[in-house]
Structure 1
């Protein structure tokens, strides 16, 4: 089997297969020219033209570009792109001292040959999206072999300079460090762009960690943004399809990768609109959705962390009006009161969590029992009451450890509770003397 380097250095072949074109209007970059290749150079396969891919060149070399222009009223799921104009100022909460506008945001999403940010992982496709002149533009560059990467990076570097904010999904950890590494490897790090990050993975986890099956972008967009992909190529298949292209030279399967990346860019824009609306205080746009109480509380807690302390009260009130509040929701609210020093309300919420867990003493009731044991021991010096709650928590932990014998964390927790109970018994006996 040939190595990755050998496969990536093979020249491309041709194919005559045609497929559907993008629904948006294609356009060629204003900064780079489409190339007319000489006889000694490989002709660009006509298959690329079926999904609007052009060959561009600069002083360093050539690369492929697909540029799609969407009208600003284009709807992607629940949101229209034009909502970004109103929603973008709310995103300044990510960087409180910097005002945000829609045209300052660059959306970025990579398709890579592997995982990690090391030298062996190559971004073969770089997707960027941005608002310009009343339109939403998506540009996707693709390299057919490593020699084209430098030309592509020079093109990207020039684009970056026009923006202040970088919007991604896990891009602060993956996409941007990988791009930085490629710039450094090609000697292009001087004067490297330093963006202000808008990484939407972290707020997505804050809101939907326990209410969605997964916080992958594909799940978030379907469950919360009203976006339903049809015949989508999973991102996990993108490297395989790219290597297939390197092996047989047929570009046709890559159309699905382009389309997948394109939808990712639109979904990032829609997600930024959703978070921008929330941070602007448009809670009413969020409440009508059928959301669980835990999601309401998590949203409120996230808004507080983002400095919007006046916004969460409506969400907390709605969550508490439920006839059967979720015990885990009560625990989150109690933790908030504990940090604020509102001990009376925190104790009531912990007690309520135990009451609402009467049919099933789960993790929330267990945590509430431990918190109450600590409260009665350290705040009230009521060792008998503390001992009762500690015993309750120990009984639950013991049952769990019997079910999961090899769970070292459970065993450590059980041992800590044993020590707590021993200490409380000693204090209670001493108090009675």
Structure 2
């Protein structure tokens, strides 16, 4: 406001000085009259300054006032050099429990989160850039996660794409500081406030080394990054270590949960139940209605939904941090069912190595009630790793189960046949297994019309049998 006042004063000063100078040069007035008019102009200017100050102050006060409906939401105006936007801050004590986890567990669990070491920068094209990126990644990988340097992010946007037309009207941030977990929620009342919100984020984000999101690698962060560019913040650089918790959730629960949406994962695995929650899919419609009628009350549900998302995201990070910190069985219960046991072991092996997953695999092979698909998946893993004894044991379990199945498969028969043909050179055993596989295929397809794929399967089994019989004939001859 002060800059506007100064510009108006300068303009007014130029407009009043010019006529006086013109009058003197033309000789139209005496010097005494000029002095008298100058005094009148000075008094007029002082009065005008006073009125201008009062008007600007009144406008400033009016801009800072919010209706009672806004105060019910707990928001306040955040003023920046780029303008204003609304900010809502909620503080949770660290002993607060959200489902089965307490927020204070984040201090212990972040040690395991250091296994997430994939940065957000794009892959370089040339070899020298690749080498520099590899050195940078190695330096980053040595950086431990500090609980107060990890930032949780979740956006509420006007659409689902990552293009220029998708605007984040609400940005939720979560972080630990001074013995509390703070949730900050920024809201723009109209598109003109977006630049002010982004300016605030420019100062905020760079204080953190890690970014935790849920599907943020393909949605939240690209959307926010595009808005920085479109609003002129091209010099803004922030390359945190991105921890996208959607990917481990899918790795562990994709075959055991109906959906891997955050609201479903938190209910099924984190013990969190939402009451009267506004689905995130309705948030854009609620915001557009607010833009139309100016009533902020329905936005309360959007604020609450985003707030719970932030706290749930922290608890999900705690869950995976405990898994990666050898807390399985102590800090985190053992997986429910053999499928989740397998997927958890495969994910732990990918993140930290085989030694972390072996105890889970041992529990799995001792479970005689596991379905054949689980045994086959673990056997495939052992085959790639060269653990042939256990792979053979698992294939034999599946072969035995297939003989009594009403709808049998023959994948394990083929794997064992290839093992005996190429590893042990026991061609008789390989031929016997191939013949059993053909018999199972014919039994399964009995009475069915064979399409091209099924005919190819049966033909492949017959060719394998013919090849093995030829090998055995050559050896006997």
TM-score range, shorter chain: 0.7 to 0.9
Q: Could you tell me how far apart the structure 2 residues matched to 1:396 and 1:378 are?
A: 28
Q: 1:217 aligns with which of 262, 268, 291?
A: 262
Q: Could you tell me how far apart the structure 2 residues matched to 1:175 and 1:111 are?
A: 9
Partner SS, residue 174 of structure 1? helix
Q: Could you tell me how far apart the structure 2 residues matched to 1:102 and 1:287 are?
A: 19
Q: Could you tell me how far apart the structure 2 residues matched to 1:344 and 1:400 are?
A: 38
Equivalent pairs counted in the alignment come to 391
Which residue does 2:299 correspond to in 1? 254
Superposed CA deviations along residues 271-300 of structure 1, whole A, max 9, x for unmatched, are 111111111111113664571112112111
How big is the shift at 1:357?
Answer: 4.9
Q: 1:420 aligns with which of 443, 449, 460?
A: 460
Q: Tell me if the contact between 1:111 and 1:124 (Cα under 8 Å) persists in the aligned partners.
A: yes
Q: Could you tell me how far apart the structure 1 residues matched to 2:143 and 2:442 are?
A: 52
After the TM superposition, which residues 22-421 of structure 1 pair with which residues of structure 2 at under 5 Å, given as runs? 38=60, 41=63, 43-95=65-117, 96-285=141-330, 288=333, 291-357=336-402, 360=405, 365-380=409-424, 382=427, 384-385=431-432, 387-388=434-435, 390-391=437-438, 394-395=441-442, 398=445, 413-414=453-454, 416-421=456-461
More helix by share: 2
Q: Could you tell me how far apart the structure 2 residues matched to 1:261 and 1:400 are?
A: 55
How big is the shift at 1:350?
Answer: 1.7
Q: Could you tell me how far apart the structure 2 residues matched to 1:67 and 1:296 are?
A: 39
Q: Tell me if the contact between 1:366 and 1:396 (Cα under 8 Å) persists in the aligned partners.
A: no
Q: Tell me if the contact between 1:109 and 1:175 (Cα under 8 Å) persists in the aligned partners.
A: yes
Distance change >3 Å, CA 388–CA 345, structure 1 → 2 = farther
Flag structure 2 segments of 5+ consecutive residues without an equivalent.
1-56, 118-140
How big is the shift at 1:143?
Answer: 1.2
Indicate the larger mover: 349-358 or 53-62. 349-358
Q: CA RMSD in A?
A: 2.7
Q: Could you tell me how far apart the structure 1 residues matched to 2:376 and 2:320 are?
A: 25
Which residue does 1:28 correspond to in 2? none
Partner SS, residue 310 of structure 1? helix
Q: Could you tell me how far apart the structure 2 residues matched to 1:396 and 1:155 are?
A: 68
Superposed CA deviations along residues 159-187 of structure 1, whole A, max 9, x for unmatched, are 11110000011111111111111111112
How big is the shift at 1:89?
Answer: 0.8
Q: Could you tell me how far apart the structure 1 residues matched to 2:194 and 2:445 are?
A: 58
Distance change >3 Å, CA 249–CA 103, structure 1 → 2 = same
Which residue does 1:430 correspond to in 2? 470
Which residue does 1:29 correspond to in 2? none
Q: Tell me if the contact between 1:168 and 1:199 (Cα under 8 Å) persists in the aligned partners.
A: yes
How big is the shift at 1:92?
Answer: 0.5
Q: Could you tell me how far apart the structure 2 residues matched to 1:105 and 1:295 are?
A: 28
Distance change >3 Å, CA 150–CA 430, structure 1 → 2 = same
Distance change >3 Å, CA 310–CA 380, structure 1 → 2 = closer
Partner SS, residue 87 of structure 2? strand
How big is the shift at 1:125?
Answer: 0.8
Q: Could you tell me how far apart the structure 1 residues matched to 2:178 and 2:421 are?
A: 64
Q: Could you tell me how far apart the structure 1 residues matched to 2:147 and 2:200 are?
A: 22
How big is the shift at 1:124?
Answer: 1.0
Distance change >3 Å, CA 79–CA 40, structure 1 → 2 = closer
